[in-house]
């Protein structure tokens, strides 16, 4: 687990896929940074936000309680700029778009679900407004590589929204469609938090970048070769 950046208030790490950000990751960080035991509540400690277990990328941790409140406030007020790289099933017709729905928990499972705009909103337990911007980065024979920018922070938001428009994240075991095509050797969902911009205590805007992991780059090389072979 690489440390992207740190100062006296903030720690930015590059979370690998397969690690739970709430518990496993914080247990590892507390061993290296014992002062985190004094921040927030166990087992999350100074964790400012979350990433799904099988999503890799930038994760922020506060080093003290004052910093935790400062940075979490920016998330709540939608002042954070986040970007994800996702490989989705099929070919999206448009080159860019915006998805606006309500998202809430499916009472019958651990999944989140999309609600129609006419559904009653709730600030706590029911469906809440969710908005995701997206644009195409590259097109393949049977897949599309996109950049997704969630403007709200609902659980599973990017995954739910992409499935809602008919193009689920490939490798997503929870929101994929039945018999959905998946690249060979992909062992996880192809979703990576590659960019995050936040305001530091000194008022400076700081942008963090996380490069696409090697295994995902290899998947792109493989499907690029397959697409070229079919054309030739």
Q: In this structure, what DSSP letter does residue 51 have?
A: -
Estimate to the nearest angstrom the gap between the alpha carbon of 49 and the chain centroid.
10
Catalytic one of 14, 52, 54, 172: 52
Could you give the CA distance from residue 73 to residue 132 in angstroms, rounded to a whole number? 20
- Sign of the alpha-carbon torsion through 214, 146, 154, 199: positive
Segments in 65-213 forming alpha helices (H)? 65-76, 157-164
Two tokens at 212? 């696409």
Contact 90, 163 (CB under 8 A): no
Within a 10 A sphere around the Cβ of 66, how many other Cβ atoms? 12
Two tokens at 111? 């999944």
Query: Which residues, 6 or more positions from 30, have their beta carbon under 8 angstroms from its beta carbon?
Result: 36, 37, 45
Estimate to the nearest angstrom the gap between the alpha carbon of 209 and the chain centroid.
13
- Please name the helix (run of DSSP H) or strand (run of DSSP E) that holds residue 2, with its range, or none: strand 2-6
Residue carrying the six token digits 């002062």: 35
Longest dimension (CA), the chain: 60
Residue 52 annotated as catalytic: yes
Catalytic residue positions?
A: 52
């Amino acid at each position: 687990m690489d440390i992207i950046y740190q100062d006296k208030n903030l720690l930015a790490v590059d979370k690998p896929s397969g690690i739970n950000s709430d518990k496993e990751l914080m247990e590892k960080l507390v061993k290296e940074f014992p002062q985190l035991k004094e921040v927030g509540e166990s087992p999350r400690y100074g964790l400012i936000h979350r990433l799904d277990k099988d999503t890799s990328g930038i994760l922020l941790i506060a080093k003290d309680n004052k910093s935790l409140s400062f940075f979490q406030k920016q998330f709540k007020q939608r002042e954070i700029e986040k970007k994800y790289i996702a490989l989705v099933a099929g070919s999206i017709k448009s080159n860019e778009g915006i998805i606006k729905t309500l998202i809430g928990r499916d009472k019958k499972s651990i999944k989140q679900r999309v609600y129609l705009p006419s559904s009653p909103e709730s600030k706590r337990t029911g469906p809440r407004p969710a908005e995701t911007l997206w644009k195409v980065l590259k097109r393949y024979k049977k897949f599309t590589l996109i950049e997704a920018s969630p403007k709200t922070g609902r659980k599973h938001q990017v995954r739910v929204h992409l499935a809602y428009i008919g193009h689920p994240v490939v490798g997503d075991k929870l929101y994929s469609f039945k018999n959905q095509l998946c690249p060979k050797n992909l062992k996880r969902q192809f979703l990576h938090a590659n960019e995050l911009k936040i305001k530091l205590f000194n008022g400076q805007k700081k942008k963090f970048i996380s490069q696409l992991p090697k295994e995902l780059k290899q998947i792109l090389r493989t499907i690029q070769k397959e697409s070229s072979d079919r054309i030739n």
